[in-house]
A and B are shown apart, each in its own frame.
Chain A
C-alpha cells in the first residue's frame, strides 16, 4: 500500500534532527505548480508540494529534474522517493530543494493521503546566522506570497545552506580547485598542527594547519589570525567535518606532505561543522615505502613508512641553529622485512612523550628522507605516527617479525652514529673500487665486497709470531730463529721453542666486474684456508720432505669460495710508488637470505628507474 511506503514523519525528522534522520524518504506529491522565470532563458522551474502524510512542505524541483514534470512522469498524486535534497529555511519557512528524485510509478497517482498539515517552522538545525545574500536564486523563496529574494547573483548551483549535513553538492576532495565556487567537503581531520606565530616586516600573526582526508584524496587547510583563533578549538583530530567556502590556493609544498596540488585557506565566511555521521571518511591513508628501498628515494622527499621499532634513543635537547630555541628530539631505529634498518628522528612533544614498546609496529605518515649519514628519516611537523595500527601492512610486519625478523641481521641505512664504530656498510664492485682508487688520498675508506677467492699466493703465507701475552693480547711480533729451536722475540726478549705462525697472505678475489688483491691476516686467513697457519706450515714442511702435494691441495681448496669481505683501503707508499692496499677486516660467509633480500632490492631499483614495477613485494 502506498501509505505504508511513505516515510511518515520524515519531514519533521529532517528539520528537527537533520538530513540523516530520513535518508531517501518517500513522499506523495500533492501539488505541482510551474514558476515563471524572472529572466528569459531560464528553464522552467516547478514548485512541488510534498506530503509525508503527517506534514506537507513546499519544495522546489531543481532545473535538471524539470523534465519529470514536463514529460508527465511526475504528476499530482505521484509517490516519489527523494534521493538527494537540501532542506532550507527561507523567510522563516521550511522548504526543500529537490536535487534528485525517483518517481515510484508503481503506485500510480493517488488521492491525497491523510490530512497533512504545514510543517511548523521550528528552529532550524545547526543554523549559523545567514548572511543576507545567500546568492538569492529566484527559484525558491516564492511562497504563495511571492516574495522574492534580493537580487540574485550566481544561479548556476543551488546555494549551500550554511547549516545541515547531507549537502547536495558534496564534493570529493579530489575535485577541489580554485575554479570550484560553492562546494562542501566531508572530511576527517587527520592531523592538527600547533598554533604557530610569526613575525616579519609586515607585522605578526598566527596560524595553524590541519590535514583533511576523505575517500578521494587529502588536502591541507590553514587558518590565519582571528580565524585561527576561532577554528583552533573546533578541529579535533579524528573527527569528521563538513567544510565549505574556503579559498582554494596552490599548495606550498615545503610545508605540506600531502599529495595535493592545492590547499585551503579558511576565510571569515568559511564554515566548519562537525558531522553527525562520523563514519563517512577513512581514518588515515598511507602509502608505504619499504625501508630497503630508501636508497632509491630522493633526498628531501616525503614518504610514509612502517616498521618494527628496534631501538629507542634517549630524549636529547638541541638548540636550533636559526631560532636559538631548544628542541627536543629522539632517535628511533626502525626495521622491516627487507632486512634493512634506518634511523628515524621525532621531535618536540612527540619525542618527549614517546613510549611505544620495543618491537611494536609503528606507522609513520609524512616522513622526510634525508641524506644525513647515508639515509635517515625525520618526522615532519605535519606528519603523524600510529603505534600498532590496525592495518594489513602492520599485521604482516608483526607476523614476519615474530617468525623471522627477531633473529635477522639487518643492513643499516645509517652510515654514521649508532653503527659498528660508525662506518658505512656500502657494497662495492671490484670495478667501483678500482675506479675510486684515485680519490683515496690520505683517508682510509671502508666498504664491503662480495667476491670469490680465485687464487691464494702460496709463498710467504704466514710468519712466525711471538705468542707471548702483552697486556692481554699476544705480542705477535715476528720472531727470529737465532739458533735452531730457539725463536727469539725482540720486544719481549723471550725465546720460544716453537713459534705460532700467523697468516699474512695475499689473496686474489674476483667478482663479475674484475679482480683485486687483498691482504688477509691470521683470523681471516684461517677462514679462507680452513686451517690454522701452524697446520699449513707443517703441511708445507712435510710436503717438502715427503713429496706430497697436501699444501698445494689446500691452496686449491681455498679457491672458488665466495665470501662477504669487509675491506679497509689505504694508500701506502711503497718505495716511492703510492699503492693502495686492501686489507680485510672481517670475512663472513654468505648469508643467503640477506643476499637475496639485497639482490631483490637492487633489482627493484632498476624497476623504479623505468617506472615499470612488476614486483608484488
Chain B
C-alpha cells in the first residue's frame, strides 16, 4: 500500500474528511448497506462499495475506507478481528498516534 492510511476514531472523522483512513471498531448494528461501529464513538459505514464484507455484530473489525462529507465512511476493505480486542488499549493507541503525529503520518 503506497497510500498512508492514518488510524482514526470517531472523534477524528471531521479532521480527516475526504481522506482514506483505517478504523478499528466494534460492530454494533448492521442495516443492509450500512453498518454502525463503535470506535470511540459511533461511526457509520457505507458498504455499497464492498458488499461482500461479512461483518458480525459484536466482533471487532478493521476497515479501510474514505471519509465523505457527511462523516460516513465508504468502506474499501474490511478485516474481521474477532472477539477479545481490548478497545481501551486500542483507542489509547490511536489517541497517542495523533498526539505525536509526526511519527505516524504527514
Contact = CB atoms under 8 A, between A and B. Distances in A.
Interface string B31-45: 000000000100000
Q: Which 4 A-B pairs have the closest CB atoms?
A: A596-B89, A600-B92, A614-B99, A614-B95
B102 to A, nearest CB: 15
A198 interface: no
B89 A616 contact: no
Contacts of B88: 337, 597, 600, 617
B106 interface: no
A603 B95 CA distance: 10
Contact of B95 (A337, A596, A597, A615): A615
B58 interface: no
B99 A616 contact: no
A593 interface: yes
Given A614-B99, A615-B95, A616-B11, A597 B40 contact: no
Contacts, number: 27
Contacts of B40: 616
A603 B11 CA distance: 20
A330 B86 CA distance: 35
Nearest to B90: A596
Interface residues of A, number: 11
A48 B40 CA distance: 58
Interface in B70-97: 86, 88-89, 91-92, 95-96
Interface in A551-602: 593, 596-597, 600
Nearest to B96: A603
B16 to A, nearest CB: 15
A600 B95 CA distance: 10
B18 to A, nearest CB: 22
B11 A600 contact: no
Contacts of A615: 92, 95
B98 A600 contact: no
6 contacts: A337-B88, A593-B86, A600-B92, A603-B92, A616-B11, A616-B91
A617 B99 CA distance: 14
A530 B72 CA distance: 51
- B contact patch SS: helix
Given A616-B11, A616-B40, A596 B96 contact: no
Interface string A606-617: 010000001111
Interface of B: 11, 40, 86, 88-89, 91-92, 95-96, 98-99
Given A600-B92, A616-B91, A617-B88, 5 more contacts: A596-B89, A614-B99, A615-B92, A615-B95, A617-B95
A603 B91 CA distance: 13
Interface string A156-186: 0000000000000000000000000000000
A597 B88 CA distance: 9
Which of A615, A616, A617 has the largest number of chain B CB atoms within 10 A?
A616
A614 B98 contact: yes
A402 to B, nearest CB: 16
B98 A596 contact: no
Contacts of B96: 603
Contacts of A617: 88, 91-92, 95
A616 B95 contact: yes
B11 A596 contact: no
B86 A596 contact: yes
A18 B45 CA distance: 55
Given A616-B11, A616-B40, A597 B89 contact: yes
Contacts of B98: 614
Contacts of A614: 95, 98-99
A144 to B, nearest CB: 65
Contacts of B89: 593, 596-597, 600
A359 B72 CA distance: 40
Contacts of A600: 88-89, 92
A29 to B, nearest CB: 52
Nearest to B99: A614
A259 B95 CA distance: 29
B94 to A, nearest CB: 10
Nearest to A604: B92
Contacts of A596: 86, 89, 92
A596 B96 CA distance: 13
A617 B40 CA distance: 9
Which of A337, A593, A614, A617 has the largest number of chain B CB atoms within 10 A?
A614
A614 B88 CA distance: 14
Contacts of B95: 614-617
Nearest to A593: B86
A347 B13 CA distance: 48
Contacts of B86: 593, 596
Nearest to A603: B96
Contacts of A597: 88-89
Nearest to A617: B92
